[in-house]
Structure 1
């Protein structure tokens, strides 16, 4: 593990200068300060005193690092975390990792330096050095929404397996046989879990699963539209497009409407993740709803249990299917 003198050597300054940077001494020039921070980043250095502050010097603040602040799911999640923390007397500092490992580690470092009492992280796909170090040193840390393999960290997440199974069964009862999935990134636990659940459900219901009917997106609107175009251009396009999150579903909706196709008569549409405007669209969008408010509230309770030395196990919440009209509900089943 890097030491303060290693940072000094890498930055070409004295140990005293590194110490002044860590203590925000105004006598240090901006150029020197940037050089020291760059060296800390390269060496994955976390000051020992700052790391210890997570366990010993309560500041009544929590850090929350989310995947994408523009995604309505994460906006609602952040609101739930903030509301619950405030009632418990804590302030939440939010960092947007923008689904990038380097941004995630930037916020881990920054929040530790600001002496937050605990960290709630929606992790990127990678086990990054600072997250690994925080977990190894026993700092109060909880994963939210996603998990990382091989890490012994409490997590609070949603399991959509049963709801996806219900959706596939629902589509079969409506007469659909060709169902496509635009999945999230398979490097993320949520992308893998939803894809695995979909493949399993299609097999259990005896429906054909063509390889080209599974397309991997990135949880962004543009990929939802581009992959929907690819699906609709197939010689035998799917009867249903199932978006792996709300933004990719909206991208699919844009592509369907741009082609002048009707929902559900020409192609049906369903979403993993519900949003407040889905019930008000024409037609209303069938969705798998996650208990986002409860997800955020439970995550705060788990991190507070860790801070107060109480048992803090992982929590798994169920998702729920919300049938609406976008898949042909109410039509005659052939």
Structure 2
């Protein structure tokens, strides 16, 4: 076995190009006082030898790691995948690489990633938090943006980019109550302790209370199966027609499963609205009525705040609110169904 090859060093490039190590450094840093002929000879040696540099050495010199750390709650959730991609597309040349951590909504796992990113001296931190105890320490050490949701420990000390979840919920529930004249509107919700879910629940309750209606709630669910069980128990107590507002895509799919199990039809018997991008619902023939977080806008504002915080650490904490995009579809009846959907409950008798 020949073993692994030793990585090419800056000294190897200098020897190959017939110049000093300082000249190679000047070329790689795009400094002046290097002739065009020498610059091209050094770059040719870099290409031929496959030199990629030493990140640790560069970091010592520039005091930058070249990394931005991102902690998301669930890599399996399509929204967080879209958000990660949008942030990666907006990285700057100064910090061109993204380190990704999946907390899986677990405080201890989030704590491990925070410790790792602090050890790696990341240039910036973006976190969708679940409450790790060292998050305030990370905010004090690293330019940080808290995204999508927040926790009490950083509300007054960190920059935030937060979707206007309560306002979006009010629009969707208000649409069912005002436009569709429904007297019964149910809520199928996730964990209220997560701030964005709590905001969506608050929007539902405000509209229902203002309309003088009774709230019908099943909440605290984390999976579609849990949501389906809770929704089934709740929906069987309601007389159609009624409305359903779900707080995210998992709750949406759970609610649809309960509707199908009860032999009800969307939107004839049940009007359904949700917050989250439910692109997968196109396979059912449904176009959900939904409020969607504008991922590109959220990512752009996040990177803007991160850059400003990096340039001026003394800035006071900023809070940016981003309105959601509301799309009306077939699940509320505003857009007629075309063709035969694969799953909307029992089909009407011809």
TM-score (norm 2): 0.71
Aligned to 2:214: 209
Aligned to 1:162: 167
Change (3 A) 1:129 1:330: closer
Q: Is the 8 A contact 1:290 1:319 kept in 2?
A: yes
SS state at 2:326 partner: strand
Aligned to 1:329: 334
Instruction: State the alpha-carbon separation in 1 of the partners of residues 223 and 303 from structure 2.
Output: 27
Is 1:282 the equivalent of 2:285? yes
RMSD of aligned C-alpha atoms? 2.4
Computing the radius of gyration from Cα coordinates, the structure with the larger value is: 2
Aligned to 1:317: 322
Change (3 A) 1:159 1:200: same
Q: CA deviation at 1:249?
A: 0.4
Aligned to 1:228: 231
Q: CA deviation at 1:80?
A: 0.9
Change (3 A) 1:111 1:150: closer
Q: Is the 8 A contact 2:289 2:332 kept in 1?
A: yes
Q: Which runs of 5+ in 2 are unaligned?
A: 1-58, 337-350
How many pairs were matched up?
A: 272
SS state at 1:162 partner: helix
Change (3 A) 1:270 1:73: same
Aligned to 1:198: 204
**1:148-187 paired onto structure 2 within 5 Å:** 148-151=151-154, 152-172=157-177, 173-187=179-193
Aligned to 2:135: 131
Q: Is the 8 A contact 1:228 1:241 kept in 2?
A: no
**1:76-95 paired onto structure 2 within 5 Å:** 76-85=82-91, 89-95=95-101
Q: CA deviation at 1:144?
A: 0.6
TM-score (norm 1): 0.74
Q: CA deviation at 1:218?
A: 3.6
Q: CA deviation at 1:219?
A: 4.6
Aligned to 1:241: 244
Instruction: State the alpha-carbon separation in 1 of the partners of residues 133 and 169 from structure 2.
Output: 34
Higher relative contact order (CA 8 A, sep 6+): 1
Is 1:98 the equivalent of 2:104? yes
Q: Which runs of 5+ in 1 are unaligned?
A: 1-52
Is 1:267 the equivalent of 2:273? no
Instruction: State the alpha-carbon separation in 1 of the partners of residues 182 and 147 from structure 2.
Output: 35
